Structure 1
């Protein structure tokens, strides 16, 4: 049996056909040499990966609906075996399956097709302390024709693992911001899976600033032609923080579009007793044999601001048909743009201010695409706060 389990957790024909399961027993305990865990500091996961985590407690999840959407957006706390859960498929790793196997309840948000509003539906997950572990799932169902905005916030400290699923009906448009603003000790591992119907549009944004270890796995699958997915992300890692993001965009049908753009900055302190600031970004795009007319591009850019920081960037593009509109990928890890810095210095701007302006401009390309002004302002303020404590 052990040999069969180990085989289950390996890759098969392509990146889109990896083993998935809702049962934690179907996955072996990961080790540092496993490909999909090779960057992750397993010793810092507080046992999420091997079952030795602290005692579980009920998660603290609150949903706030604007008054204008009353009656058009419904929220239910449902049992783990509710048949409306799991529509996007099973988790791809042991921790995601652990969250599914151990959770007692989940949150189901249903958005009526009549909704045409960017007033945010706000979902807040608050950590329950480092002596507790919480598991849950969040399902957002965007009915055909709707246009809605969901803001998911993580705050406090705790040990947390969850599964998100976004189900978009035909012609639905859903914008999601996942804002990870945990406390300094928090550990969060999450699977995030989206399924898009015909001509559906998903705008998925990740803003990652807080937590000790955060590992996210966003995945998108197109089920009918005309789908459009944009996955955007910003992250800023300090001493003692490890952020990992593993993405998969699965083009399984013709004439769909995807764009992935993630930007990160890292700052460390060689004299600090904390682990170095570190990030890992792995982006996979799969274009299957019957996905003619696909148009896709993925980009990851990283600014290493100081010594004592390390970023890994691994873009992958797997193409099984030549009949596509376009495909490409790019990734960089580097320091400041010397030409931009020279330009600002030549205009009389002091060097430390010039460097901070460059960093803020670096992130603005991503943040500027979020359609709600006060959410953009929150993220801009958070970057400014990070930079205020940085000696560049």
Structure 2
């Protein structure tokens, strides 16, 4: 099942209100994978996986013309017991989570020189988060990171992107049996930055993975979170929030491959848009293969359009090859402020600007609380407030 939800419309399961545009029903159309960039043709923009992306704004990341002339400053702060390594391309842990699935990710894989590998040992329970600060200092860069969490370990990782850069990168999460990993990836780039990234998580037996993707800055940001299960009992929660401003293109393309029995996934992404030519894209692909009996999955996307001139493309795709599942569904909705909400607040003496801020804060609040780090939660809510003030 595949639907494209226009602004002001809602989908829930098989029920659609609005004017849906038919899409390919096979979620695997965009799932071809290879480590070799030569296996991917240069995209033209007519391909399903590229049809929403303004290719000219990728600065050559998609066609091989972007030479690695830039610099990224990466600083890792990790609790005692965590191993932080810089390795070369021959390290056997690289590529273990999964292959690149498009030309940009493959270009990043074939172009990086050194990779970062962060290892949390077996049974370790970290009291403090691992913080990875990635700061762009101009030019084009390619990156690769691996975060490996040993069996029955527990860790939180914050991946924070700032500065100005053109970046293509792959990030891998290897989650051992019974382990728990929460990753918060923040894209708070300068307005001129370009960032294309594939995040791939391989989840072990009875392991749990939580991803929170937060996107504010950048001229163009395209993030692809992907989940594969290595054994039964794995659970994945994928949360995201994005605030798309004037002229920005922010694209989040998720793929969850349920190829293993008795696994679970839950997806919830929310976005707000304001300003002329603000464009947000959310693609949620979930594939339940014939062998994946006992699967339980749900995905949700909500978008709040704050001004005229903004555009949202929200496409939930759900493909099911077995009827022996616990549950599967999706929902997508895009709309403006509800006049009743604003009227209710203003009728109680709250000024219009403050009422608007409270509504947006409430819209995002549930997802921000999933982070579980008070300092980062406060920073993100302050960023949302700043975005709203800038539009007044």
**TM-score using structure 1 length:** 0.91
1:117 pairs with 2:126? yes
1:383 is matched with: 384
- Whole-angstrom distance in 2 between the partners of 1:340 and 1:293: 40
2:143 is matched with: 136
- Partner residue of 1:187 out of 189, 194, 198: 194
1:39 pairs with 2:73? no
1:53 pairs with 2:62? no
- Partner residue of 1:160 out of 156, 164, 167: 167
Structure 1 pair 34–118 and aligned structure 2 pair: CA distance change class (3 A): farther
Give the aligned CA root-mean-square deviation in angstroms: 1.6
Instruction: Give every structure 1 segment of 4 or more consecutive aligned residues whose post-TM-superposition deviation is greater than 6 Å.
Output: none
Q: Deviations over 1:46-81 (max 9, x none)?
A: 11111111443453222111xxx31x2000001022
Aligned residue pair count: 369
- Whole-angstrom distance in 2 between the partners of 1:290 and 1:28: 31
1:176 is matched with: 183
1:92 is matched with: 101
- Whole-angstrom distance in 2 between the partners of 1:167 and 1:337: 42
- Whole-angstrom distance in 1 between the partners of 2:192 and 2:101: 25
- The 3-state SS of whatever aligns with 1:339 is helix
- The answer (yes or no) to whether the contact 1:12–1:18 under 8 Å persists in 2 is no
List alignment gaps of at least 5 residues for structure 1. Answer: 1-10, 270-275
Q: Deviations over 1:294-317 (max 9, x none)?
A: 111100000110012111100011
1:21 pairs with 2:34? yes
Structure 1 pair 118–343 and aligned structure 2 pair: CA distance change class (3 A): farther
- The answer (yes or no) to whether the contact 1:46–1:54 under 8 Å persists in 2 is no
2:17 is matched with: none
Structure 1 pair 19–12 and aligned structure 2 pair: CA distance change class (3 A): farther
List alignment gaps of at least 5 residues for structure 2. Answer: 1-23
- The answer (yes or no) to whether the contact 2:224–2:254 under 8 Å persists in 1 is yes
- The answer (yes or no) to whether the contact 1:143–1:172 under 8 Å persists in 2 is yes
- The answer (yes or no) to whether the contact 2:68–2:142 under 8 Å persists in 1 is no
**TM-score using structure 2 length:** 0.91
- The answer (yes or no) to whether the contact 2:125–2:154 under 8 Å persists in 1 is yes
Deviation, structure 1 residue 148: 0.5
- The answer (yes or no) to whether the contact 2:84–2:116 under 8 Å persists in 1 is yes
Q: Deviations over 1:135-172 (max 9, x none)?
A: 01010001001110000010100111000000000010
- The answer (yes or no) to whether the contact 1:250–1:287 under 8 Å persists in 2 is yes
Q: How does 1:332-347 map to 2 (within 5 A)?
A: 332-347=333-348
